């Protein structure tokens, strides 16, 4: 059985996605934010289907019920399992998280289990302890830092408590987490702390910050970004703060301080008609538009290789628009090195697609239509 987590309000949409991708699968709701998936087919087929779900936050592959009669007993049982399946000295991550009650119910119990696991490893297998959490926990919890993604030699252990006495355990040995990035998140529960910056023009900047963290790559000084539909400037503000250059395109001006910035070149006009003279490092787009227009735009940019990296918001008018995302699922693999299409923690009625076009030679920027019809 595979366990898949979502935000509570998105579980019905996740169920629809999975049934479209894996029509012979059996799905069982567990609470308001979890689905148990039983599906025939190869590991690769299941991984691909889960990896293309927009509304999945985290995947616990091959999850099984795990009793928690007491903190010490749970830790002892878990350590015994780890000794039998994890290579000594190799890096691994341990995520012990609650999924019951409200707010932080169960958080303290999870922390005590984790501490007890560490204590048991000190007594029984110090060589395993050396590889635990090579990535500092602070790096995962700090919204201002790019998240270190899984490495090929890294394993992932997830213990999810669904009550005080029982949970689910998933152990994914290396290179499973590395080859499953996009469906197995390095963030506990797949949740990224929402960035806060009161100096930003609006809260929309949090979507860009979260996308960067999930990519494991941040905009840096010296890079050039195109921000389409830039006003009032939240997606321009963040790159400028880091020393990047931004070509901002909108019919309306940005906030005054951004308009005066020497790092910002403002083009007043239609975001969907703008084509850079030369390829740029980043395409950024949080424009308010019909989903088919934004989908067509990002597909045109990556097809023409006008950028190396991209973060684009797809905004919905209603739930009936969600199925249009299947176009991105089908077309993106043809044109990019890697991508994710997710409903972010910072998203409302929208989703973000972000990823890497690749490091090969980029085409000269040129004309073309961003009509979705070109990709159907």
With b for 16 or more beta-carbon neighbours within 10 A and e for fewer, the 128-146 pattern comes to bbebbbebeeeebeebeeb
Between CA 32 and CA 49 the distance in angstroms is 21
Nearest to 313 by CA among 332, 289, 329: 289
What are the two backbone dihedrals, phi and then psi, of residue 328, each rounded to the nearest 5 degrees?
A: -65, -40
Q: DSSP E strands: which ranges in 99-206?
A: 155-161, 166-172
What are the two backbone dihedrals, phi and then psi, of residue 358, each rounded to the nearest 5 degrees?
A: 135, 165
Report, in angstroms and rounded to the nearest whole number, the Rg of the chain calculated over CA atoms. 22
What are the two backbone dihedrals, phi and then psi, of residue 270, each rounded to the nearest 5 degrees?
A: -85, 120
Kindly tell me the sign of the dihedral angle through the C-alpha atoms of 327, 329, 330, 336: positive
What DSSP element (H or E) covers 244?
Answer: none
Count of Cβ atoms closer than 10 Å to residue 339 Cβ: 21
Q: What is the dihedral of CA 49, 51, 53, 55, to 10 degrees?
A: 140
What are the two backbone dihedrals, phi and then psi, of residue 218, each rounded to the nearest 5 degrees?
A: -115, 150
Q: Provide the CA 185 distance to its chain's centre, in angstroms.
A: 7
Count of Cβ atoms closer than 10 Å to residue 265 Cβ: 13
Burial class (CB in 10 A: 0-12, 13-18, 19+), 189: middle
Between CA 309 and CA 271 the distance in angstroms is 18
363 is catalytic: no
Cis peptide bond upstream of 175, omega within 30: yes
Query: Catalytic one among 130, 198, 315, 329?
Result: 315
Kindly tell me the sign of the dihedral angle through the C-alpha atoms of 323, 329, 335, 341: positive
Catalytically active residues, by annotation: 315
């Amino acid at each position: 059985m595979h366990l898949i987590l979502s935000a509570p309000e998105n579980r019905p949409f996740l169920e629809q996605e999975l049934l479209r991708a894996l029509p012979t699968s059996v799905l069982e709701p567990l609470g308001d934010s979890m689905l148990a998936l039983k599906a025939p087919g190869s590991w690769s087929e299941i991984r691909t289907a889960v990896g293309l779900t927009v509304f999945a936050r985290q995947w616990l592959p091959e999850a099984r019920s795990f009793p928690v009669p007491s903190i010490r007993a749970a830790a002892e049982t878990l350590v015994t399992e780890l000794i039998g399946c994890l290579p000594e000295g190799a890096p691994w991550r341990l995520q012990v998280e609650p999924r019951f009650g409200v707010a932080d119910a169960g958080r303290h119990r999870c922390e005590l289990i984790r501490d007890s696991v560490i204590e048991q490893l000190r007594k029984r297998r110090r060589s395993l302890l050396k590889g635990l959490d090579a990535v500092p926990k602070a790096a995962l919890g700090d919204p201002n830092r790019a998240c270190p993604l899984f490495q090929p030699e890294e394993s992932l252990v997830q213990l999810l408590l669904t009550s005080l006495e029982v949970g689910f355990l998933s152990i994914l040995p290396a290179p499973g987490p590395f080859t499953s990035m996009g469906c197995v998140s390095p963030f506990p529960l797949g949740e990224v702390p929402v960035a806060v910056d009161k100096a930003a023009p609006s809260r929309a900047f949090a979507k860009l910050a979260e996308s960067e963290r999930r990519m494991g790559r941040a905009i840096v000084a010296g890079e050039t970004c195109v921000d389409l539909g830039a006003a009032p400037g939240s997606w321009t503000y963040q790159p400028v703060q880091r020393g990047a250059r931004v070509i901002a395109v909108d019919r309306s001006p940005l906030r005054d301080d951004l308009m005066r910035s020497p790092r910002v070149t403002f083009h007043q006009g239609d975001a969907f008609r703008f084509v850079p003279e030369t390829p740029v490092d980043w395409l950024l787009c949080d424009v308010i538009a019909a989903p088919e227009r934004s989908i067509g735009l990002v597909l045109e940019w990556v097809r023409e290789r006008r950028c190396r990296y991209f973060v684009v918001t797809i905004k919905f008018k209603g739930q009936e628009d969600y199925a249009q995302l299947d176009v991105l699922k089908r077309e993106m693999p043809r044109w990019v090195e890697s991508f994710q299409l997710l409903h972010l923690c910072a998203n409302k009625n929208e989703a973000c697609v972000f990823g890497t076009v690749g490091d090969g030679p980029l085409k000269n920027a040129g004309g073309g239509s961003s009509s979705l019809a070109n990709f159907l």
